[in-house]
Amino acid sequence: MQIIHQQSLEHLITLEYQSAIAFFYIDIRYQIKNNTLIITEDLFSEKDYYHYLETGAINSIAQMNDAYLYDQNKSHTENLSHAIEKIVNNRRLIYGIPLVSKFGKNLTENEWELIVKKFSVKTTTTFNSSFLDFLREKGLHPKPFDEEKGQWVANCPSGAKHPIMISAYFDEFGCGWCKKKGGKQELKDWIQEINLEK
C-alpha cells in the first residue's frame, strides 16, 4: 500500500452512505503521478467526519489507496469520473448508492448525475413480494441490486458484515460465506437456529 501525504492530494468528492445503524462518509482525494491516477479514500464515522470538516484533522477509521491508469486520450473529468464510478460500483453490493456531501472543483453535480444514471436501472425498483416483506420484518433491510435480473441483497442473519443474495422473482436466498441457501422456510429455520445459539 502506497503512503501518500495528505497535503499533496486534491479533494475530489465526499460520499455519504447510510447503513442500517449509522451514517458514514468516504472522503476521496487524488493526485496524478507518472500517468497514474492515485486515489486515496478516508473512511469516517459521522462524528469524526464533522470534526474533520471543522478542524481539518484527519482521524479516519481506515484509509485505502488505489491506482488507475490516467488515460491521456480522455479528459481530466472523464478520468476522475471513471475512478469514482468504479469505487461506487465496488461498494453498491453492500452499501447501495451514496449521496454526495461535498464536491471538489474537478467533479460537478452534473458529472455525478451521469455516474448515478448508469446504475439507476440496476438499483431502483417497485417490485415487492411477501418474501421481501419477511426480510424487512426480520430487520435484514433488503435493497435492490440488479432489477433486470430480480436480484436484491440483504443483511446476513448471522450478523456478519457480508450480504446475502436474494432472488426476488423466485423467493430464494443464498449466502456463499455461510454456505446457506433456500427459500423462505430455510431462511426461517436458519434464523431460528441463530437465535437458539445466542
Phi, psi of 142 (to 5 degrees): -65, 145
How does pLDDT run across 87-117, given as a tens digit for each residue? 988 887 667 788 999 999 999 999 999 888 8
Residue 179 — left, alpha, or beta (φ > 0 → left; ψ -120 to 50 → alpha)?
A: left
How does pLDDT run across 157-189, given as a tens digit for each residue? 999 888 999 987 788 999 988 999 999 999 999
- Collect all residues with Cβ–Cβ distance below 8 Å to 138 and sequence separation of at least 6: 157, 191
Tally of CB atoms within 10 A around 155:
21
DSSP per residue over 56-85, as a string? -----SEEEEEEEE--TTS-HHHHHHHHHH
Supply 88's cell numbers.
Answer: 461506487
How does pLDDT run across 3-50, given as a tens digit for each residue? 444 557 899 999 998 865 678 999 999 999 999 999 999 999 999 999
Q: Whole-angstrom Cα distance, residue 123 to residue 165?
A: 14
Q: Is residue 2 over pLDDT 60?
A: no
pLDDT at 196: 85
pTM beyond 0.75: the answer is: no
